[in-house]
Structure 1
Amino acid sequence: MESKPCVASLTVKNSNVLPPDTNSYGTMFGGLLMAQMDDVAAIAATRHARKHVVTASTDSVDFLYPVKEGDTICLEAFVTWTHNTSMEVFVKAVTENLILGDRKVCATAFLTMVAIDENRKPTIVPPVHPESKEEIFLHQGGAKRAELRRERRKNSKEMAQTFGTSFPWNEQSRL
């Protein structure tokens, strides 16, 4: 399968931040921003794989600067690293006050997307190759981040097994 450059998956999406998008402090709901980041990551991954994709994980989303009502939000995403059926997608969110021209990176995250076939089973994706110094920087850390995700997923499965599906937990555990 032929390798594709990171830039081939570049996806950019802009939108206004309106009153229904904000909390009582007049700043954008974090969950809404996360949903928009997931959406743009899915578009970038689909563009790379030319297959349907599902979200496998989201690394920590760090909210660096508030997004205010009346601002715009610009999301940029591209595939940085691949492994068999999965793609790591870097997403950057930039808030902008269009009147003042003030722009700030308000959040970043890595999302892992998995390509699926017509039977909804994971399917092979093309490799990705970086070209710019920023793409090379992100690509070089991809394998290490993937290993950290595998460890985090293992811990999450252990946590799910420990707590199960019911609440309150076993009365014995309260003693």
Structure 2
Amino acid sequence: MTKPESKPVSASRTTITELMIPAYANFGGKIHGGILLSLMDKAAYACASKHAGHYCVTVSVDNVDFRLPVEVGDLVSMQASVNYVGRTSLVIGIRVTAENVKTGEIKHTNTSYFTMVAKQEDGTLAEVPCLQLETREDVRRFLESIKRKELKNLYRQELNNAKTNLQIEDELHKLQGERCLVGEIPKI
């Protein structure tokens, strides 16, 4: 039996840094979340493709919480690394920081996880190399990715069960105190 091809985490680590210009700002003068998502997607693609040796596409994005605003003039860095690999998929962890070049202040604005899949030229899924975990941090991230995957599957199952078994009349009490108005609900 041959040993599967593998690559170390460090081989595909990627950082993309971009200056935030006024054209990226919203009406409040802060950088649009969509601009940041686009930059994160680019970093995820670059990192995943370096590891996979194939074209990669985004399948899902988890935990996009914008913790702090990004300002015009900030240097924003997307630090991406492969946290987990499956047979054809990769989870790319991205840490976003914004640096105020005048003050030197660096703030952590976002951490997110992109699930990517590798594609062959004909569009079919491509197998990706195993991941060589080099540090304790690499092992922690791999294990956390497994846990996130388990929780995501449990959430999906629970939501599907809720949709299938939802009895509106039995659940109406949950709307008390919520900011909604309910009209007459027709009986089935």
Q: In 2, Cα distance between the equivalents of 1:2 and 1:46?
A: 15
TM-score by length of 2: 0.79
Distance across 2 between alignment mates of 1:82 and 1:156: 26
Q: Residue in 2 aligned with 1:12?
A: 15
Cα deviations across residues 120-150 of structure 1 (Å, max 9, x unaligned)?
Answer: 1112111112212322211121212222334
- Largest Rg, 1 or 2: 2
CA contact under 8 A between 1:81 and 1:89: conserved in structure 2?
yes
- 5+ residue gaps, structure 1, are 160-173
For the structure 1 residues 22 and 152, does the alpha-carbon distance in structure 2 shift closer, same or farther, using more than 3 Å as the test? Answer: farther
Cα deviation digits, residues 95-125 of structure 1 (max 9, x gap): 0001100001101101000001122111211
CA distance 1:94–1:111, change in 2 (3 Å): same
What does residue 46 of structure 1 align with? 49
User: Does residue 97 of structure 1 match 2:105?
Assistant: no
* d(CA) in 2 for partners of 1:120, 1:155: 32
TM-score of the pair, normalised by structure 1: 0.85
- Identity of paired residues, percent? 33
Q: Please list every run of at least 4 consecutive aligned residues from structure 1 whose deviation after the TM superposition is greater than 4 angstroms.
A: 151-159
**CA distance in 2 between partners of 1:44 and 1:11 (Å):** 6
C-alpha contact (below 8 Å) 1:58/1:112 kept by paired residues: yes
Aligned length: 164
Partner of 1:147 in structure 2?
A: 150
List gaps (5 residues or longer) in structure 2. 163-184
